[in-house]
Structure 1
Amino acid sequence: MIKHCLTACTPRLVEPRLWFIVPYMLLSSICIGQAQDQQDMKVSPETKFQVISEVLQQLRSKYIFPDVAAQMERAIRNYVADGDYATITSARQFAERLQSDLRTVSRDQHLEVEYSHEPIPIQDANQQEKIDPERQARIRYKGGLVNYWFKNADILPGNLGYLRFDGFFPLKDGGRETADSAMTFLGHTSALIIDLRANRGGDPEIGLVLMGYLFDKPVHLGDFLSRPDGSRTENRISPHNSGTKYSGDVYVLVSGDTISAAEGFAYDLKSIRRAVVIGERTAGAAHPAFDYRVGEHFTLTIPTSRYVNAVTETDWEGTGVVPDIPTLKQQALETAELTALQKLVKEQPDYPFIEERQRALDEVQKSLQNRN
């Protein structure tokens, strides 16, 4: 299942879907408020051997960079030979150590080994988890309780739209109506600020839904290149079928916490010059990843493909998305307001509420000056 992580206290969900989605063991207990830690258990030498063997086999056959997979295998075999895992009896600690060792070699933030106290369902031949309807219904219900990670849609002084969402909820499990409602509510604003500073990724399809409001014709954003089957899959925006197009300027706020599909959203809009990116350089995790069951209580997340943007012919792996306007994340919103209002005041002198807009501009200028 394709996946990515979200913050520890966001609802914990997973499905075999598109880009980056949360792993199975986090799904069984969506958390609202504080996350409950997985109960630990003892791990036997036989289980450790089985997990390591499965991990190395999956890396050999599927990891996006075969040479790096070989380096990781050599390192892990050396650790095994030196007895580094022999004294570990905690399943959680074993998963954490194995993940740390793999990441030390690969420097890949999407590479994960995770432990689940609850047994992980057997997957089919394609390693896709067998989803039961009742469980899927629970995901939809609990996703609704947290508004599918949409946190805020507001109209700021000067008629600026503001949309914050902290995760890309799996589209087939809900969220489409929420995304549509937010964009409809903000449709008559003069400029739009999209806040991804706390967004930890997820299913990028919800991002394509939002992007569909920003264009009146299809746009080819890039392609996913898969190592296991050699396929090439287009990533394309389709305009919203209502014909509604948001024509105002767009500003995307990012931080060092912005990761994965959230980075892709900012990167693609920046590359086609549809948005100005403001804030801090992002985390730099670009490669789509799948979850694979590597034991009754363990999963391995492997990046199996890479993204090639149609404009830059590369992605943001390891480098992050570089903002057009760099600033501290705490100042990114006011910086976006300032940038948008200055442009609007200059370009729309006949705006009916120009005095109100000018007051908003003066206030945000004063606030930023006081910060400095």
Structure 2
Amino acid sequence: MFQGAVIEELAVQLAREYVFPEVGEEMAEVLLGKWKAGGYDGDQSPQEFALQLTDDLRAVCRDLHVRVVYNETPSERSPRDASSLRRHLELMNFGFSKVERLAGNVGYLKMDAFHSPDLAGDTLRGAMAFLKHTGAMILDMRENSGGQPEMVQLLCSYFLGAEPVLLNTIYSRRTNSTQEYWSLPYVPEARYLGKPVYVLTSRRTFSAAEELTYNLQQLKRATIVGEVTRGGANPGGMVKVHENFSVFIPMKRSINPITQTNWEGKGVTPHVALEADAAFEWAYREALKEIAEEVSLRPEAYGNGRFLKELHTAADRE
């Protein structure tokens, strides 16, 4: 049966690669012990077996990044993989779901994934170019499941000055080294400075989306609105353990330079705790207030009757 082969290789990889060695060894021991005791002898489909392994591993490590996956059709990498991936991501617009200038001159950017800047950087540049003249911005991370830290680095950089700021440090068990992620001294569009930023969160907000939220929160650059996030701060990668089975193993951990810790297992706690569905309305209302206060400080703005009408109409609607 394939179960034994999967478990034996899975145990080896967990003990070798999991970011916390003692936890990796414990997961391996639990799996091997259960298997030898006949705990996986039931009539399970491969998909059910993968889910059971995932549940058993998470019961030990409490790490929501850990995931065993069954692939019905084994796939070998080919020269077409890169172009196929790019085409798939293009169809998903590289994770950018919506970019909009809301009534009252509030910017709205909804991202559902963080893909590599090599792929998604141009789309982010276009979004920030469109939104750069808004008076406040809402970043919607409520359905964002994560992605690449380099894209988090790029997006954070738009909201910070040209002087580099340390955003996050990632420790790798495999190399026993750390990599620092600093805000970038150059971004390919105007920075979004001196204006309010709101980040919307939910219980689905995960991984890289949590890093974006945590970074801006600790730097006091954004107001976080919504629900406590899912709680995954240990990056990693997929490891093949059988012809049809792979496992995502967290091999690294995040270290915030301000707190010297991260959001693993506890999530990011918002400044304003609301149900996810109510987060947008609260942030939009507050953004309109901020813009209205700014306009009142600049008498010349009153010459723009169309804008003021839009602002007050939006405020009344809220």
TM-score with structure 1 setting the length: 0.79
Distance in 2, matches of 1:79 and 1:86, equals 10
Partner of 2:70: 115
How do 1:108-257 and structure 2 match up within 5 A? 108-121=63-76, 132-172=78-118, 174-217=119-162, 218-242=164-188, 244-247=190-193, 248-257=195-204
Residue 23 (structure 2) pairs with residue 76 (structure 1): no
Measure the CA separation in 1 of the matches of 2:271 and 2:30: 39
Residues 346-368 of structure 1: per-residue CA shift (max 9 Å, x gap)? 2330344445323322321xxxx
Q: Greater CA deviation, 49-58 or 181-190?
A: 49-58
Aligned to 1:289: 236
Number of residue equivalences: 309
Richer in helix (by share): 2
Equivalent-residue separation in structure 2 for 1:203 and 1:243 (angstroms): 20
C-alpha contact (below 8 Å) 2:128/2:189 kept by paired residues = no
Match 1:101 to one of 38, 56, 69: 56
Q: For 1:70 and 1:241, how far apart are their aligned partners in 2?
A: 43
For 1:175 and 1:117, how far apart are their aligned partners in 2? Answer: 30
Q: Unmatched 5+ residue regions in structure 1?
A: 1-43, 122-130, 365-372
TM-score, normalization by structure 2: 0.92
- Is residue 2 of structure 2 the alignment partner of residue 55 of structure 1? no
How far has the Cα of 1:262 moved from its partner? 0.6
Q: Distance in 2 between matches of 1:240 and 1:162?
A: 23
Q: Which residue of 1 aligns with 2:250?
A: 303
Q: Structure 2 regions of 5+ residues with no counterpart?
A: none
Amino acid at match of 1:86: D
Contact 1:213 1:244 survives alignment (8 Å): yes
Q: Percent identity?
A: 36
Q: Please tell me whether residue 333 in structure 1 is matched to residue 280 in structure 2.
A: yes
Secondary structure at the counterpart of residue 180 of structure 1:
helix
For each residue in 1:36-89, what CA deviation from the matched residue of structure 2 results, as whole angstroms up to 9, or x when unmatched?
A: xxxxxxxx2xx2222111111111112112222232223222211220112345
Output the CA distance in 2 between the equivalents of 1:143 and 1:84: 40
Tell me, yes or no, if the aligned pair for 2:125 and 2:188 is still in contact at 8 Å.
Answer: no
Instruction: Give deviations 1:292-350, integer Å, cap 9, x for gaps.
Output: 11111111111111100011111000110100111111111110011112222223303
Corresponding residue SS for 2:6: helix
For the residues of structure 2 that align with 1:243 and 1:285, how far apart are their CA atoms? 30
2:264 aligned partner: 317
Structure 1 runs (4+) deviating above 3 angstroms are 239-243, 351-356
Once residues 344 and 89 of structure 1 are traced to their aligned partners in structure 2, the CA distance between those partners, rounded to angstroms, is: 58
Q: Which amino acid counterpart does residue 10 of structure 2 have in structure 1? A: V
In the TM superposition, what is the alpha-carbon distance from 1:221 to its structure 2 partner? 0.7
Separation of aligned partners in 2, 1:104 and 1:215: 39
**SS, match of residue 177 in structure 1:** helix
1:120 to partner: Cα distance: 4.2
Letter in 1 for 2:230: A
Q: Give the C-alpha shift of residue 253 in structure 1.
A: 0.5
Counterpart among 306, 311, 314 of residue 357 in structure 1? 311
SS for the counterpart of 1:59 is: helix
Aligned equivalent of 1:266: 213
Distance 1:100 1:242, change over 3 A: closer
